[in-house]
Protein backbone atom coordinates (compact mmCIF):
# COMPACT_ATOMS: atom_id res chain seq x y z
CA UNK A 1 0.00 0.00 0.00
CA UNK A 2 1.09 3.57 -0.72
CA UNK A 3 -0.39 4.84 2.56
CA UNK A 4 0.48 3.64 6.07
CA UNK A 5 -2.87 3.21 7.78
CA UNK A 6 -1.26 1.21 10.59
CA UNK A 7 0.51 4.33 11.87
CA UNK A 8 -0.59 5.36 15.37
CA UNK A 9 -0.90 9.15 15.54
CA UNK A 10 -1.21 10.80 18.95
CA UNK A 11 -4.14 13.21 18.67
CA UNK A 12 -3.97 14.45 22.25
CA UNK A 13 -3.48 18.19 22.63
CA UNK A 14 -5.06 18.93 19.23
CA UNK A 15 -8.54 19.84 20.52
CA UNK A 16 -9.95 16.71 18.90
CA UNK A 17 -13.65 16.28 19.64
CA UNK A 18 -13.21 12.51 19.38
CA UNK A 19 -10.27 12.26 21.77
CA UNK A 20 -10.61 15.10 24.28
CA UNK A 21 -13.24 16.50 26.67
CA UNK A 22 -16.03 14.30 25.37
CA UNK A 23 -17.26 12.62 28.55
CA UNK A 24 -20.02 15.21 29.01
CA UNK A 25 -21.70 13.84 25.88
CA UNK A 26 -22.46 10.59 27.73
CA UNK A 27 -24.69 11.80 30.53
CA UNK A 28 -25.40 9.25 33.25
CA UNK A 29 -22.21 7.28 32.62
CA UNK A 30 -18.81 7.52 34.30
CA UNK A 31 -16.24 7.92 31.54
CA UNK A 32 -12.53 7.67 32.32
CA UNK A 33 -10.95 9.61 29.46
CA UNK A 34 -7.45 8.65 30.60
CA UNK A 35 -8.12 4.97 29.86
CA UNK A 36 -10.91 5.02 27.27
CA UNK A 37 -10.47 4.19 23.58
CA UNK A 38 -12.54 6.65 21.50
CA UNK A 39 -14.17 5.07 18.45
CA UNK A 40 -17.11 7.38 18.01
CA UNK A 41 -17.07 10.74 16.13
CA UNK A 42 -17.00 10.19 12.36
CA UNK A 43 -13.53 11.39 11.50
CA UNK A 44 -10.51 9.29 10.61
CA UNK A 45 -7.47 8.52 12.74
CA UNK A 46 -5.42 8.49 9.51
CA UNK A 47 -3.11 11.27 8.35
CA UNK A 48 -4.33 13.30 5.37
CA UNK A 49 -2.88 12.73 1.92
CA UNK A 50 0.44 14.55 1.28
CA UNK A 51 -1.14 16.48 -1.60
CA UNK A 52 -3.73 17.97 0.75
CA UNK A 53 -1.12 18.91 3.35
CA UNK A 54 1.08 20.51 0.67
CA UNK A 55 -1.82 22.50 -0.79
CA UNK A 56 -2.58 23.91 2.65
CA UNK A 57 1.10 24.70 3.26
CA UNK A 58 1.21 26.61 -0.02
CA UNK A 59 -1.84 28.63 0.96
CA UNK A 60 -0.42 29.37 4.41
CA UNK A 61 2.87 30.55 2.90
CA UNK A 62 1.00 33.41 1.23
CA UNK A 63 0.57 34.84 4.71
CA UNK A 64 -2.65 36.82 4.22
CA UNK A 65 -5.98 35.32 5.20
CA UNK A 66 -8.46 38.09 4.56
CA UNK A 67 -11.90 37.89 3.02
CA UNK A 68 -12.06 35.78 -0.12
CA UNK A 69 -14.52 35.99 -2.98
CA UNK A 70 -16.44 33.24 -4.75
CA UNK A 71 -13.56 32.61 -7.13
CA UNK A 72 -11.95 30.71 -4.25
CA UNK A 73 -14.35 27.83 -4.75
CA UNK A 74 -14.35 27.73 -8.57
CA UNK A 75 -11.56 25.15 -8.68
CA UNK A 76 -13.25 23.25 -5.85
CA UNK A 77 -16.46 23.01 -7.88
CA UNK A 78 -14.65 21.95 -11.04
CA UNK A 79 -12.61 19.31 -9.22
CA UNK A 80 -15.78 17.98 -7.60
CA UNK A 81 -17.54 17.70 -10.96
CA UNK A 82 -14.64 15.73 -12.41
CA UNK A 83 -14.65 13.50 -9.32
CA UNK A 84 -18.39 12.85 -9.70
CA UNK A 85 -17.80 11.91 -13.33
CA UNK A 86 -14.93 9.53 -12.54
CA UNK A 87 -16.38 7.95 -9.42
CA UNK A 88 -20.18 8.16 -9.83
CA UNK A 89 -20.65 8.36 -13.63
CA UNK A 90 -22.53 11.62 -13.12
CA UNK A 91 -21.88 14.50 -15.50
CA UNK A 92 -22.53 17.49 -13.26
CA UNK A 93 -22.51 21.21 -14.08
CA UNK A 94 -20.43 23.26 -11.63
CA UNK A 95 -22.88 26.15 -12.05
CA UNK A 96 -25.41 24.06 -10.11
CA UNK A 97 -23.22 24.15 -7.00
CA UNK A 98 -23.44 26.27 -3.86
CA UNK A 99 -20.78 26.33 -1.15
CA UNK A 100 -21.78 25.59 2.44
CA UNK A 101 -19.82 25.50 5.67
CA UNK A 102 -21.30 22.07 6.34
CA UNK A 103 -24.01 19.63 5.35
CA UNK A 104 -25.89 20.02 8.64
CA UNK A 105 -25.92 23.79 8.13
CA UNK A 106 -27.36 23.25 4.66
CA UNK A 107 -29.99 20.81 5.94
CA UNK A 108 -31.27 23.40 8.38
CA UNK A 109 -31.40 26.06 5.67
CA UNK A 110 -33.30 23.68 3.38
CA UNK A 111 -35.80 22.90 6.15
CA UNK A 112 -36.38 26.63 6.66
CA UNK A 113 -36.77 27.36 2.94
CA UNK A 114 -38.80 24.43 1.66
CA UNK A 115 -41.08 23.80 4.64
CA UNK A 116 -43.20 25.91 6.96
CA UNK A 117 -43.46 25.71 10.77
CA UNK A 118 -45.70 22.80 11.69
CA UNK A 119 -45.10 20.91 8.44
CA UNK A 120 -43.51 17.48 8.39
CA UNK A 121 -40.03 16.34 7.37
CA UNK A 122 -39.65 12.66 6.49
CA UNK A 123 -36.56 10.83 7.78
CA UNK A 124 -35.58 7.15 7.88
CA UNK A 125 -34.47 5.98 11.32
CA UNK A 126 -32.12 4.87 12.67
CA UNK A 127 -30.34 7.83 11.09
CA UNK A 128 -27.64 10.44 11.70
CA UNK A 129 -28.98 12.43 14.63
CA UNK A 130 -28.98 15.97 13.09
CA UNK A 131 -31.64 14.63 10.70
CA UNK A 132 -33.81 14.31 13.82
CA UNK A 133 -32.80 17.48 15.66
CA UNK A 134 -32.89 19.73 12.57
CA UNK A 135 -36.66 19.63 12.01
CA UNK A 136 -37.34 19.84 15.75
CA UNK A 137 -35.15 22.92 16.27
CA UNK A 138 -36.94 24.60 13.35
CA UNK A 139 -40.42 23.86 14.73
CA UNK A 140 -41.20 21.20 12.14
CA UNK A 141 -42.65 17.76 12.70
CA UNK A 142 -40.43 14.69 12.41
CA UNK A 143 -42.11 11.97 10.33
CA UNK A 144 -40.29 8.68 10.87
CA UNK A 145 -40.24 6.22 7.98
CA UNK A 146 -38.50 3.59 10.09
CA UNK A 147 -36.18 1.21 8.28
CA UNK A 148 -37.03 -2.47 8.59
CA UNK A 149 -34.27 -4.69 10.02
CA UNK A 150 -34.05 -8.36 9.16
CA UNK A 151 -31.06 -10.64 9.77
CA UNK A 152 -28.63 -7.77 10.08
CA UNK A 153 -29.72 -5.87 6.98
CA UNK A 154 -32.12 -2.98 6.54
CA UNK A 155 -34.73 -2.23 3.91
CA UNK A 156 -37.15 0.61 3.27
CA UNK A 157 -40.79 0.41 4.32
CA UNK A 158 -42.19 1.73 1.06
CA UNK A 159 -45.81 1.28 2.11
CA UNK A 160 -45.24 3.61 5.06
CA UNK A 161 -43.26 6.04 2.89
CA UNK A 162 -46.17 6.21 0.44
CA UNK A 163 -48.55 7.16 3.25
CA UNK A 164 -46.29 9.83 4.70
CA UNK A 165 -45.41 11.36 1.32
CA UNK A 166 -49.10 11.49 0.35
CA UNK A 167 -49.87 13.80 3.28
CA UNK A 168 -49.70 17.36 1.84
CA UNK A 169 -48.37 18.58 5.19
CA UNK A 170 -45.13 16.65 4.57
CA UNK A 171 -43.09 18.54 1.99
CA UNK A 172 -39.45 17.51 2.51
CA UNK A 173 -37.58 14.23 2.84
CA UNK A 174 -33.98 13.97 4.06
CA UNK A 175 -32.37 10.94 2.41
CA UNK A 176 -29.09 9.45 3.63
CA UNK A 177 -27.38 7.64 0.74
CA UNK A 178 -25.32 5.66 1.70
CA UNK A 179 -27.12 5.36 5.00
CA UNK A 180 -25.48 6.30 8.30
CA UNK A 181 -25.47 4.39 10.65
CA UNK A 182 -26.85 1.12 9.20
CA UNK A 183 -24.23 0.95 6.40
CA UNK A 184 -26.68 0.31 3.57
CA UNK A 185 -25.82 1.38 0.03
CA UNK A 186 -29.20 1.82 -1.60
CA UNK A 187 -29.69 0.15 -4.97
CA UNK A 188 -30.76 1.96 -8.11
CA UNK A 189 -34.19 0.34 -7.83
CA UNK A 190 -34.64 1.51 -4.24
CA UNK A 191 -33.57 5.06 -5.06
CA UNK A 192 -35.82 5.31 -8.09
CA UNK A 193 -38.78 4.12 -6.06
CA UNK A 194 -38.11 6.76 -3.39
CA UNK A 195 -37.85 9.50 -6.01
CA UNK A 196 -40.98 8.38 -7.85
CA UNK A 197 -43.00 8.48 -4.64
CA UNK A 198 -41.65 11.90 -3.67
CA UNK A 199 -42.11 13.49 -7.09
CA UNK A 200 -45.66 12.21 -7.38
CA UNK A 201 -46.43 13.84 -4.04
CA UNK A 202 -44.45 17.08 -4.53
CA UNK A 203 -41.91 16.25 -1.82
CA UNK A 204 -38.45 17.83 -2.11
CA UNK A 205 -35.60 15.35 -1.46
CA UNK A 206 -32.49 16.58 0.33
CA UNK A 207 -30.08 13.82 -0.69
CA UNK A 208 -27.08 13.55 1.63
CA UNK A 209 -24.42 11.61 -0.32
CA UNK A 210 -21.63 12.43 2.14
CA UNK A 211 -20.49 8.79 2.40
CA UNK A 212 -20.68 8.12 -1.35
CA UNK A 213 -16.96 7.35 -1.71
CA UNK A 214 -16.83 5.00 1.26
CA UNK A 215 -18.10 1.84 -0.40
CA UNK A 216 -17.04 -1.65 0.59
CA UNK A 217 -15.40 -3.86 -2.06
CA UNK A 218 -18.06 -5.74 -4.00
CA UNK A 219 -20.73 -3.05 -3.66
CA UNK A 220 -21.66 -0.20 -5.99
CA UNK A 221 -22.85 3.31 -5.18
CA UNK A 222 -25.54 4.85 -7.39
CA UNK A 223 -25.86 8.61 -7.24
CA UNK A 224 -29.30 10.10 -7.74
CA UNK A 225 -27.49 12.55 -10.01
CA UNK A 226 -27.93 10.00 -12.80
CA UNK A 227 -31.73 10.46 -12.70
CA UNK A 228 -32.30 13.70 -14.61
CA UNK A 229 -36.08 13.26 -14.64
CA UNK A 230 -36.07 13.97 -10.89
CA UNK A 231 -33.81 17.03 -10.89
CA UNK A 232 -36.76 19.30 -10.07
CA UNK A 233 -37.09 17.76 -6.58
CA UNK A 234 -33.43 16.98 -5.76
CA UNK A 235 -30.88 18.81 -3.63
CA UNK A 236 -27.52 17.01 -3.33
CA UNK A 237 -25.00 17.38 -0.53
CA UNK A 238 -21.36 16.31 -0.90
CA UNK A 239 -18.14 17.01 0.92
CA UNK A 240 -14.58 15.67 1.03
CA UNK A 241 -14.80 15.80 4.83
CA UNK A 242 -15.57 12.14 5.55
CA UNK A 243 -13.63 10.66 2.63
CA UNK A 244 -10.41 12.61 3.18
CA UNK A 245 -10.61 13.47 6.91
CA UNK A 246 -11.28 17.19 6.44
CA UNK A 247 -14.27 17.72 8.74
CA UNK A 248 -12.53 20.50 10.68
CA UNK A 249 -12.25 22.59 7.51
CA UNK A 250 -16.06 22.86 7.28
CA UNK A 251 -16.49 22.87 3.51
CA UNK A 252 -19.23 21.17 1.51
CA UNK A 253 -21.00 21.58 -1.81
CA UNK A 254 -24.71 21.57 -2.56
CA UNK A 255 -25.66 20.62 -6.10
CA UNK A 256 -29.10 21.89 -7.13
CA UNK A 257 -29.89 21.35 -10.83
CA UNK A 258 -33.24 23.17 -10.64
CA UNK A 259 -32.60 26.90 -11.01
CA UNK A 260 -35.59 28.06 -8.96
CA UNK A 261 -34.70 25.80 -6.04
CA UNK A 262 -31.04 26.81 -6.29
CA UNK A 263 -31.94 30.51 -6.16
CA UNK A 264 -34.24 30.00 -3.20
CA UNK A 265 -31.68 28.08 -1.17
CA UNK A 266 -28.92 30.52 -2.11
CA UNK A 267 -30.99 33.46 -0.88
CA UNK A 268 -31.81 31.60 2.31
CA UNK A 269 -28.23 30.58 3.07
CA UNK A 270 -26.30 33.68 2.06
CA UNK A 271 -28.95 36.37 2.41
CA UNK A 272 -31.16 35.46 5.36
CA UNK A 273 -28.90 33.13 7.36
CA UNK A 274 -25.69 34.97 6.44
CA UNK A 275 -23.74 31.76 5.92
CA UNK A 276 -20.31 32.53 4.41
CA UNK A 277 -20.30 31.90 0.67
CA UNK A 278 -16.66 30.83 0.68
CA UNK A 279 -13.72 30.03 2.95
CA UNK A 280 -9.94 30.24 2.77
CA UNK A 281 -8.73 26.72 3.51
CA UNK A 282 -11.52 24.20 2.99
CA UNK A 283 -11.85 24.66 -0.78
CA UNK A 284 -8.06 24.46 -1.18
CA UNK A 285 -7.94 21.13 0.63
CA UNK A 286 -11.07 19.89 -1.14
CA UNK A 287 -9.64 20.68 -4.56
CA UNK A 288 -6.44 18.78 -3.80
CA UNK A 289 -8.46 15.85 -2.47
CA UNK A 290 -10.68 15.56 -5.53
CA UNK A 291 -7.78 16.03 -7.95
CA UNK A 292 -5.40 13.52 -6.36
CA UNK A 293 -7.45 11.29 -4.08
CA UNK A 294 -8.44 8.25 -6.17
CA UNK A 295 -5.71 5.93 -4.92
CA UNK A 296 -6.21 7.07 -1.33
CA UNK A 297 -9.91 6.18 -1.41
CA UNK A 298 -9.30 2.81 -3.02
CA UNK A 299 -6.64 1.87 -0.48
CA UNK A 300 -8.39 3.21 2.60
CA UNK A 301 -11.56 1.26 1.81
CA UNK A 302 -9.57 -1.95 1.39
CA UNK A 303 -8.03 -1.30 4.79
CA UNK A 304 -11.35 -0.49 6.47
CA UNK A 305 -12.87 -3.62 4.93
CA UNK A 306 -10.06 -5.53 6.61
CA UNK A 307 -10.95 -3.91 9.93
CA UNK A 308 -14.58 -4.97 9.53
CA UNK A 309 -13.67 -8.54 8.63
CA UNK A 310 -11.20 -8.84 11.51
CA UNK A 311 -13.88 -7.74 13.98
CA UNK A 312 -16.58 -9.90 12.44
CA UNK A 313 -14.38 -13.00 12.62
CA UNK A 314 -13.31 -12.26 16.20
CA UNK A 315 -16.88 -11.73 17.35
CA UNK A 316 -18.02 -14.94 15.71
CA UNK A 317 -15.35 -16.93 17.55
CA UNK A 318 -15.38 -15.25 20.96
CA UNK A 319 -18.64 -13.28 21.31
CA UNK A 320 -21.22 -14.78 18.94
CA UNK A 321 -24.08 -12.87 20.56
CA UNK A 322 -22.57 -9.58 19.36
CA UNK A 323 -22.85 -9.01 15.63
CA UNK A 324 -22.01 -6.52 12.91
CA UNK A 325 -24.83 -6.25 10.41
CA UNK A 326 -24.45 -6.38 6.64
CA UNK A 327 -21.87 -3.71 5.93
CA UNK A 328 -22.05 -2.21 2.43
CA UNK A 329 -20.66 1.28 2.92
CA UNK A 330 -19.31 3.98 5.29
CA UNK A 331 -16.55 3.34 7.82
CA UNK A 332 -19.07 3.23 10.67
CA UNK A 333 -19.76 -0.26 12.01
CA UNK A 334 -23.26 -0.87 13.46
CA UNK A 335 -22.82 -3.32 16.35
CA UNK A 336 -25.86 -5.32 17.46
CA UNK A 337 -25.81 -6.30 21.16
CA UNK A 338 -29.46 -7.38 21.43
CA UNK A 339 -28.75 -11.12 21.68
CA UNK A 340 -26.84 -10.53 24.92
CA UNK A 341 -30.27 -10.18 26.54
CA UNK A 342 -29.23 -6.99 28.30
CA UNK A 343 -31.21 -3.77 28.34
CA UNK A 344 -29.97 -0.77 26.40
CA UNK A 345 -28.64 1.13 29.43
CA UNK A 346 -26.83 -1.95 30.74
CA UNK A 347 -25.21 -2.55 27.34
CA UNK A 348 -23.97 1.04 27.31
CA UNK A 349 -22.71 0.83 30.89
CA UNK A 350 -20.71 -2.31 30.14
CA UNK A 351 -19.23 -0.85 26.95
CA UNK A 352 -18.58 2.72 28.11
CA UNK A 353 -17.59 2.06 31.73
CA UNK A 354 -16.37 -1.54 31.97
CA UNK A 355 -14.76 -2.00 28.54
CA UNK A 356 -13.88 1.70 28.37
CA UNK A 357 -14.82 1.87 24.70
CA UNK A 358 -16.43 5.02 23.35
CA UNK A 359 -19.02 4.47 20.63
CA UNK A 360 -22.19 6.30 19.63
CA UNK A 361 -25.24 4.90 21.47
CA UNK A 362 -27.74 3.52 18.99
CA UNK A 363 -30.57 5.51 20.55
CA UNK A 364 -28.88 8.73 19.42
CA UNK A 365 -30.06 7.68 15.96
CA UNK A 366 -33.67 7.11 17.02
CA UNK A 367 -35.59 4.74 19.26
CA UNK A 368 -35.07 1.85 16.84
CA UNK A 369 -31.34 2.04 17.62
CA UNK A 370 -31.82 0.57 21.10
CA UNK A 371 -29.43 -2.35 21.62
CA UNK A 372 -26.96 -1.04 19.01
CA UNK A 373 -23.74 0.97 19.20
CA UNK A 374 -21.94 2.64 16.28
CA UNK A 375 -18.16 2.30 16.20
CA UNK A 376 -15.79 4.17 13.89
CA UNK A 377 -13.49 1.83 11.93
CA UNK A 378 -11.45 4.47 10.10
CA UNK A 379 -8.61 3.71 12.47
CA UNK A 380 -5.42 1.64 12.68
CA UNK A 381 -5.95 -2.12 12.98
CA UNK A 382 -4.36 -2.00 16.43
CA UNK A 383 -7.38 -0.04 17.70
CA UNK A 384 -9.76 -2.70 16.42
CA UNK A 385 -7.66 -5.43 18.02
CA UNK A 386 -7.72 -3.56 21.33
CA UNK A 387 -11.46 -3.00 21.01
CA UNK A 388 -12.04 -6.73 20.57
CA UNK A 389 -9.90 -7.58 23.61
CA UNK A 390 -11.82 -5.10 25.74
CA UNK A 391 -15.20 -6.37 24.57
CA UNK A 392 -14.11 -9.95 25.23
CA UNK A 393 -13.08 -9.07 28.78
CA UNK A 394 -16.66 -7.92 29.43
CA UNK A 395 -18.84 -10.01 27.11
CA UNK A 396 -16.68 -13.07 26.38
CA UNK A 397 -18.26 -16.47 27.00
* Same-domain pairing of 311 and 389: yes
111 located within any domain: yes
Tell me the angle at which helices 259-266 and 103-114 cross, rounded to the nearest 10 degrees: 110
* Same-domain pairing of 190 and 62: yes
| Res 331: pLDDT | 99
Beta bridge partners of 172: 121, 204
Whole-model pTM: value is 0.96
pLDDT tens digits for range 80-101: 999 999 999 999 999 999 999 9
118 membership: H or E segment, kind and range? none
- Return d(Cα 226, Cα 235) in angstroms, integer: 13
pLDDT tens digits for range 270-301: 999 998 888 899 999 999 999 999 999 999 99
Here the CATH number for the domain that contains residue 41 is 3.90.1150.10
| Res 69: pLDDT | 83
Q: List alpha helices for the chain, DSSP H.
A: 50-62, 74-88, 103-114, 130-137, 158-166, 188-200, 241-244, 259-266, 282-292, 294-318, 344-349, 381-395
* Same-domain pairing of 45 and 141: no
* Same-domain pairing of 166 and 284: yes
* Same-domain pairing of 231 and 380: no
- Return d(Cα 200, Cα 162) in angstroms, integer: 10
183 located within any domain: yes
Helix then strand then coil, % of the chain, to nearest 5: 45, 15, 40
* Same-domain pairing of 160 and 57: yes
| Res 32: pLDDT | 92
**DSSP for 230-251, written as a single string:** GGGGEEEEE-SHHHHT-GGG--
pLDDT tens digits for range 330-351: 999 999 999 999 999 999 999 9
What is the rounded (10 degree) CA torsion for 332, 336, 340, 342?
90
Share of the chain above pLDDT 90, in %: 95
* Domain tally, the chain: 2
pLDDT tens digits for range 15-61: 999 999 998 999 999 999 999 999 999 999 999 999 999 999 999 99
| Res 43: pLDDT | 97
Q: Distance from first CA to last CA of the chain, Å, rounded?
A: 37
* Same-domain pairing of 41 and 129: no
- Provide the domain limits for residue 300: 23-49+294-395
Pairing verdict, β 120-123 and 323-324: unpaired
* Same-domain pairing of 172 and 249: yes
Amino acid sequence: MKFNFDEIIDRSGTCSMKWERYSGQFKGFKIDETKALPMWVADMDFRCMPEIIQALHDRVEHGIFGYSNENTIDSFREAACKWFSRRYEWECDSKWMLFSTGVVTAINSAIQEFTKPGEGVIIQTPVYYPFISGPISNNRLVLTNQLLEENGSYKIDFEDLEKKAADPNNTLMILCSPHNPVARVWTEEELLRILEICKRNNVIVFNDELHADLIMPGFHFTSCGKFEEYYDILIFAHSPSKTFNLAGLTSSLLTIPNEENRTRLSNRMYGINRIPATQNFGPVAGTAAYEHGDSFVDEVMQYIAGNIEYARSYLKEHMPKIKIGKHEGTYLAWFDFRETGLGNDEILRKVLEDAKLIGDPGTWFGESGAGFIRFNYACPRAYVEEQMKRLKSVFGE
